[in-house]
Structure 1
Amino acid sequence: MSDFLRHFQKQQAVQPPREKTTKTECPYCSVQCTMNLHEEKSIKVSRYSVTPNKEDPVTDGRLCVKGLNAHSHAVDDRRLRYPMLRIGGTLSPITWEDALGRIRSEVTEIQRKYGKDAVGVYGGGSLTNEECYLLGKFARVALGTKHIDYNGRFCMSAAAGASNLTFGIDRGLTNPLSEVPLAKCIILAGTNIAECQPTIMQTFRKARQEGCKIIVIDPRETATCSIADIHLKVRPGYDAALANGMLKVLLEEGYVDRAFVEERTTGFAELEEHLKKVSLAEVAALCGIPPQLIVEAARIYGAAETGMIFTARGVEQHASGVANVRNFLNMVLLTGKIGKPGCGYGAVTGQANGQGGREHGQKADQLPGYRLIENEEHRAYIAKVWGVPEESLPRKGVSAYEMMESINRGEIKGLIILGSNPIVSNPNAALVEEALKKLDFLLVIDLFESETAKLAHMVLPGSSYLEDEGTMTQLEGRVLVRRAIRPLPGKARLDWKILCDIAEVLGKGEYFRYTKAEEIFQELRIASKGGKADYSGMTYERIEQSHGMFWPCPEEGHPGTPRMFENGFAHEDGRARLAPIEHQNPKEVATRKYPYLLTTGRVLQHYLSGVQTRNTSELNSKYPEPLLEIHPDTAGEIGLVNGGRAKVTSKRGTIRLKVKYSAKIRQDTVFVPFHWGGDQCVNRLTNPALDPVCRMPEFKVCAVSISPN
């Protein structure tokens, strides 16, 4: 070794590590907390850490355990780095040129033999707005297929359906979170904010400190109940009945804002007539809640000068999810608690971009800006923006789970999946797995080899949030810009670039000539202009200067809309719609063969189907497997031991789980989180019965039998 080389190595060895700090956003829940990523780079290794952004306007500089470890999966060496083709049962690396050529031949041949609609597209609720928009355009222009939907169908569709029917528009929160402390009563129905959106819990604690009464509605005594004045431990699937009982009290005890109802709503007479027939005793029996507790909760909400109601998956993931939410919206309207500071409704979005993901064309029946694909005027406008003949746009397709049924019947032969893991996230997951095995061609674009990717004919390495620039719309309806701060690993490509590359080889490249995400956003602005979700007045520069902008924002001089419905609702007459809601029993009730009710949900350490969090050792070690949460008395009757194993069976399948005693759950109900696949996938048990309006499956209640394993 030369003296020069020895000197160079010695100099490198004594140099201190280089430090770099960049601002980014957590890729997980709908709060979209901003944070600082610190990289300490030496000769051989780079070390990463995360700290909160103290200037975050929503969280005041807080991060949960997922946010503090959000960088881990993005810099993980196990990430997919090359296109992979299944050869002889094994995924083997290939070049991008070969991958794109294979995609062209597979898609072209399937569509030649079976028609355009024989290829489907399946997206995710954590993609950027630009990618959601582009995925919808890709399906309808590059593929010409009607079959596109996404996993957000399982998140927000019931609340979206109810809000559209009631208000004429759907934006998750009608007020910014900064107004929560102004409320004197808050109802949290089927939402466990402490574990699902923990960084905003301090906002609700602040409200309570300032005299707000908080009512939690949940079959379990979750961590969120720590701030509750009243916990209504409702039987799973009986939320609409409970709301009917509370509405009856509001009506009969004089808590109706008659002036508001007369001036701002329609349908009061029909609702009033319906509530006269409601029996509070019957409601109490159905819900498993003492009637006096229902009365007390209704009085507190009715008497409060200001108030807000929040719902989430506990109310929404039912075959009657839209009706459930509409009944809580009846409570908001009947008392006039909306369109004012500290008064409103919030559907607490689950996924990172669950709000934006449902606005710009991923859903089977939608076009950008919340336009409808069956509306002739809407079709004509978007066709003009895209530069295609209106008649070339396909009509509406089917919902996410119905796509799986179509695959199972052989109607869809090819499927392109971007950023989703449907084998784990769909109900009746065993059927979904069997369906995907029947495909002639399954292409998955993801970061890791998920359960779904393990079945794919081809897997392409996509981009993580650290590499993927674009906008996200968090739970308030606040649009944020997330900048790319790291290069892509290996031969991975940006998700939006992959779609453009595929469009190119399919002969549709002229419609996908983008060089950066901001160019896609500029087109999205035009496409959304005049729609309900109007982003046309936003630019990256304006969004960043304002620390986020609320839609609708119809022109560049517009400040955005933090509070909705101050002067009217989005129906043509400006009025909201009250509606009588009949209680519907769950599609499955307890029987002698299946005597217990199973409900599902999240845990703090994991996210969605767990592809990212199960690949983060710091998170997975804290909650390494799903647990069957069961009341000790119920467990004793069955013969289950805390920490032992149990077999749980529904009409659709069986899984085996470790037992966790919890005195905080109803004795007729058990709980299992949904972040795992394979033999631990609770969605092998869940009921695929669908809401007739929004096609949401009934994840939150199914009948099961339980025995020692």
Structure 2
Amino acid sequence: MTDLARDGTHPGAPPPGVTMSAPDVDTHCPYCALQCGMTLRATPQRVEVRSRQFPTNRGGLCQKGWTAAELLDHPDRLTTPLVRDPHTAQLRPATWDEALDRVARTITGLQTAYGPDSIAVFGGGGLTNEKAYALGKFARVTLRTRNIDYNGRFCMSSAAAAGNRAFGIDRGLPFPLADLAGADTLLLVGANVAETMPPLVRYLVEQKARGGNLIVIDPRVTATARQATLHLQPMPGTDLAVANALLHIAVTEGWVDKDYVETRTAGFDAVRRSVAGYWPAQVERLSGVPVADLETAARALGTAGTAIILTARGAEQHAKGVDTVTAFINLALALGLPGRPGSGYGCLTGQGNGQGGREHGQKADQLPGYRRIDDPAARAHVAGVWGVHPDDLPGPGLSAYELLDSIGSPTGPRALLVFGSNPVVSAPRAGRIQRRLGDLDLLVVADFVLSETAAMADVVLPTAQWAEEDGTMTNLEGRVLRRRALRPPPAGVRTDLSVIAELARRLVGDGMAGNGTTGGRTTGSATDGSGTTGGGAGSSFPEDPRLVFDELRRASAGGIADYAGVTWDRIDAEDGVFWPCPAEDRPGTPRLFAETFPTPDGRARFLPVEHRPAAEEVCPEYPLYLTTGRVLAQYQSGAQTRRIGPLRTAAPNAFLELHPDLASRLGVADGDEVTVHSRRGEMRAPARLSDTIRADTVFAPFHWGGAARANSLTNDALDPTSKMPEFKVCAVRVERA
């Protein structure tokens, strides 16, 4: 495993300068959805990180986890609100009263003039369950706006949509992570876990040590692909065709589990007919994957005693991402994998609370418990908990990119409140989104550093970090975990829950929000089903996360993501509780689909899907494919990790990875500055030559802003179902700078 860590550290050992110390507070890493267990201790000099045994990471941490506490006392930490001075146009320190009053006053004026939907909210997949829930409630009850979405739309939406329509439920892994180690064959599609989730690699090592087959599908020879027994290296945007070819071979060779298909699924005949045309030789010409490799992969899956198929962003961040995931689900269903012990299909959730963040209300079309916002029964249930009339809840809003891109239009938002996101760096076609944000009458950003988005804001609200607040997260397995505070926030800093509660009090206390109403015609009169009165608009925004979680449990009760039986005490006692868990005397559900699927007839759904080209193909002017992704030492938009010394040393700047043959044709040497052009913008970065990438493809990490911003190039074409942008492939031209 040592070759997997470019920084030279083993995932289970601390880097230089990090001491192992006695336990103080047990919590979880603030970064990816693996949510590794760790212990924090406060010393007079700093906060120390120690690994701990937890079912997911088993004592291991990556370099990001080991250094996570360095940001807590970083000199860039914001400790006072900032407001933009109308005379100097510069941000200046302000009191909390001045900052919050300015936000509330501006929202009031805009909603009076332009209506409730003139205010928009943009959340994040790193927010705790409590904050995601409170943010969704604040938007719908206090602001009465339909315009709320979050950056998880850029992460998990395609896999979520595909899972919902095939299985009737979206839970990233419908089985515990430990199952990976026992699979005879494990297929990873568009997943570079060695760099994105290093402690997970121990499961791959165990799986291979048992003699298992590890198959990786990726256009690059990544650190994960180097560990594979078989690596399929397709042209970007052709994963769907590869999946259909694998199913074609399985049908031809008789590896379909006929009994499973007949008794547990519906729609196979249409899929069987659709994949009949995906001859391996045809797919080789289309994707570049040799016929022999397609056949070897299909045989390894079709003849395995146990097999697991996992997809990740490489397959999903496309304008056909839902169909691509569906194609791999079709393959899994045909082989009889979902619900079988040690087998199944799953997707690897990315952000720390990417799972819980999309379950409880900050997504444009959803209410808590993963309920649809256009379902009358769902609206009635949640309205009862919130103490408002169902008719007063707004309908579905715009997806994340559509919401951001609508700024400046006659009916678009005029104010935007951002919590836990940095769209100036992370949104596709980022230059356009940056200009859109500049058209706002009011941009409010709640963050703990001055990110690229916060630097544009009219009001910046300094908020607590992960080690300074309690709450819950839901990891990639659907395991609800406890985040515990080591210490209170610094003086002058408030939690997100406090910010939401203070804004709600100001808006409702003055009768301002909701276009002149108090946010609900039955404020304070509806009950939540427990015999207690639900709070009305603004009257029930507690700052205590335990109280928020108890309300979340009631709001989610009976929904797909049912947390009613999950309590903080149970989480502590059981190393987390898997949802659905409908009652306190019922166990959680670590494995789904053992007997049935949560669909109307209990059967999983096959859906025929056809390959189609990328939204933007190469041409003489833009002759190369660009694909984007992450590197080991950085995370998401980099606003946090680029400020941490060891991580900055390990990955100091962006780069463009290209094949030596391509570099030779372009007259580019390793380390030369290159400019990359697309139809939407350009980026500038040093060249990094590598023979591990296809000669028709270049790769750029997306963690940097400014001139090195990869998302200046990426395509904003959207999947018609999930509204996922096509981050993973676009046409570019590369020149020596």
Q: Is the structural similarity TM-score above 0.5?
A: yes
Mapped partners of 1:637, 1:576: distance in 2: 50
Report what 1:240 is aligned to. 240
1:77, distance to aligned residue in structure 2 (A): 2.7
Report what 1:465 is aligned to. 466
Aligned residue runs from structure 1 range 330-479, under 5 A: 330-410=330-410, 411-479=412-480
* Greater shift in the superposed pair: 332-341 or 500-509: 500-509
What amino acid sits opposite 1:491 in the alignment?
A: G
Instruction: Tell me if the contact between 1:369 and 1:531 (Cα under 8 Å) persists in the aligned partners.
Output: yes
Instruction: Tell me if the contact between 1:408 and 1:434 (Cα under 8 Å) persists in the aligned partners.
Output: no
1:513, distance to aligned residue in structure 2 (A): 4.0
Mapped partners of 1:493, 1:264: distance in 2: 51
Mapped partners of 1:685, 1:289: distance in 2: 27
Q: Percent identical across equivalent pairs? A: 47
Report what 1:534 is aligned to. 562
Aligned residue runs from structure 1 range 143-542, under 5 A: 143-410=143-410, 411-507=412-508, 510-542=538-570
Report what 2:512 is aligned to. none
Report what 2:623 is aligned to. 595
Instruction: Tell me if the contact between 1:146 and 1:394 (Cα under 8 Å) persists in the aligned partners.
Output: yes
Instruction: Tell me if the contact between 1:191 and 1:313 (Cα under 8 Å) persists in the aligned partners.
Output: yes
Instruction: Tell me if the contact between 1:19 and 1:39 (Cα under 8 Å) persists in the aligned partners.
Output: no
| Residue 632 in structure 1 maps to residue 660 in structure 2 | yes
Match 2:29 to one of 6, 17, 26? 26
What SS does the aligned partner of 2:91 have?
A: strand
Mapped partners of 1:60, 1:404: distance in 2: 40
Mapped partners of 1:362, 1:291: distance in 2: 44
1:459, distance to aligned residue in structure 2 (A): 0.2
Aligned residue runs from structure 1 range 630-669, under 5 A: 630-669=658-697
Match 2:720 to one of 687, 692, 698? 692
Rate the CA distance shift 1:108–1:385 in 2: closer, same or farther, 3 A. Answer: same
* Greater shift in the superposed pair: 680-689 or 224-233: 224-233
Question: 4+ residue stretches of structure 1 with deviation over 4 A?
Answer: none
Instruction: Tell me if the contact between 2:23 and 2:39 (Cα under 8 Å) persists in the aligned partners.
Output: no
Match 1:75 to one of 73, 76, 82? 73
Mapped partners of 1:19, 1:361: distance in 2: 38
What amino acid sits opposite 2:156 in the alignment?
A: M
What amino acid sits opposite 1:133 in the alignment?
A: Y
* Greater shift in the superposed pair: 432-441 or 18-27: 18-27
Mapped partners of 2:122, 2:712: distance in 1: 20
1:20, distance to aligned residue in structure 2 (A): 7.7
Match 1:564 to one of 587, 592, 596? 592
What amino acid sits opposite 1:436 in the alignment?
A: L
Instruction: Tell me if the contact between 2:469 and 2:488 (Cα under 8 Å) persists in the aligned partners.
Output: no
What amino acid sits opposite 1:40 in the alignment?
A: T
Aligned residue runs from structure 1 range 5-84, under 5 A: 21-41=24-44, 46-53=45-52, 55-84=53-82
Give the TM-score of the pair, scaled to structure 1. 0.96
Mapped partners of 1:685, 1:659: distance in 2: 16
Mapped partners of 2:47, 2:494: distance in 1: 22
What SS does the aligned partner of 1:194 have?
A: helix
- Residue deviations 1:146-178 (CA, integer Å, cap 9, x gap): 000000000000000000010000000011011
- Residue deviations 1:486-509 (CA, integer Å, cap 9, x gap): 111131101111001000000166
Instruction: Tell me if the contact between 1:481 and 1:544 (Cα under 8 Å) persists in the aligned partners.
Output: yes
Mapped partners of 1:311, 1:259: distance in 2: 25
Report what 2:581 is aligned to. 553
- Residue deviations 1:629-664 (CA, integer Å, cap 9, x gap): 111111111111101111100000111110001110
Instruction: Tell me if the contact between 2:497 and 2:543 (Cα under 8 Å) persists in the aligned partners.
Output: no
What SS does the aligned partner of 1:408 have?
A: coil
What SS does the aligned partner of 1:82 have?
A: coil
Mapped partners of 2:265, 2:539: distance in 1: 44
Instruction: Tell me if the contact between 2:359 and 2:368 (Cα under 8 Å) persists in the aligned partners.
Output: yes
Mapped partners of 2:708, 2:26: distance in 1: 37
Report what 1:9 is aligned to. none
Instruction: Tell me if the contact between 2:245 and 2:294 (Cα under 8 Å) persists in the aligned partners.
Output: yes
- Residue deviations 1:448-474 (CA, integer Å, cap 9, x gap): 011011110000001100112100001
Aligned pairs, number = 687
What amino acid sits opposite 1:28 in the alignment?
A: Y
What SS does the aligned partner of 1:507 have?
A: helix
Instruction: Tell me if the contact between 1:471 and 1:479 (Cα under 8 Å) persists in the aligned partners.
Output: yes
What SS does the aligned partner of 1:407 have?
A: coil
What amino acid sits opposite 2:370 in the alignment?
A: Y
1:76, distance to aligned residue in structure 2 (A): 1.3
Report what 2:12 is aligned to. none
1:385, distance to aligned residue in structure 2 (A): 0.8
Instruction: Tell me if the contact between 2:25 and 2:484 (Cα under 8 Å) persists in the aligned partners.
Output: no
Mapped partners of 2:25, 2:608: distance in 1: 52
- Residue deviations 1:67-110 (CA, integer Å, cap 9, x gap): 00000112213211011111122111111111121111100001
What SS does the aligned partner of 1:28 have?
A: coil
What SS does the aligned partner of 1:621 have?
A: helix
1:409, distance to aligned residue in structure 2 (A): 1.9
Segments of structure 1 that go 5 or more residues without pairing to the other structure are 1-17
1:515, distance to aligned residue in structure 2 (A): 4.3
1:415, distance to aligned residue in structure 2 (A): 0.4
Instruction: Tell me if the contact between 2:241 and 2:278 (Cα under 8 Å) persists in the aligned partners.
Output: no
- Residue deviations 1:297-326 (CA, integer Å, cap 9, x gap): 101110001100111000000000000000
What SS does the aligned partner of 2:466 have?
A: coil
* Greater shift in the superposed pair: 18-27 or 611-620: 18-27
Report what 1:618 is aligned to. 646
- Residue deviations 1:575-612 (CA, integer Å, cap 9, x gap): 00011110011001111110000000000101110111
Instruction: Tell me if the contact between 2:136 and 2:362 (Cα under 8 Å) persists in the aligned partners.
Output: yes
What amino acid sits opposite 2:138 in the alignment?
A: F
Give the TM-score of the pair, scaled to structure 2. 0.92
- Residue deviations 1:563-584 (CA, integer Å, cap 9, x gap): 1100111111000001111001
Mapped partners of 1:269, 1:420: distance in 2: 44
What amino acid sits opposite 1:51 in the alignment?
A: R
Mapped partners of 2:473, 2:241: distance in 1: 36
Instruction: Tell me if the contact between 2:504 and 2:541 (Cα under 8 Å) persists in the aligned partners.
Output: no
Mapped partners of 1:37, 1:690: distance in 2: 41
What amino acid sits opposite 1:666 in the alignment?
A: R
* Greater shift in the superposed pair: 611-620 or 270-279: 270-279
Mapped partners of 2:260, 2:376: distance in 1: 35
Report what 1:10 is aligned to. none
Mapped partners of 1:607, 1:108: distance in 2: 36
- Residue deviations 1:191-221 (CA, integer Å, cap 9, x gap): 0010001111101110111121010000000
1:184, distance to aligned residue in structure 2 (A): 0.5
What amino acid sits opposite 1:57 in the alignment?
A: P
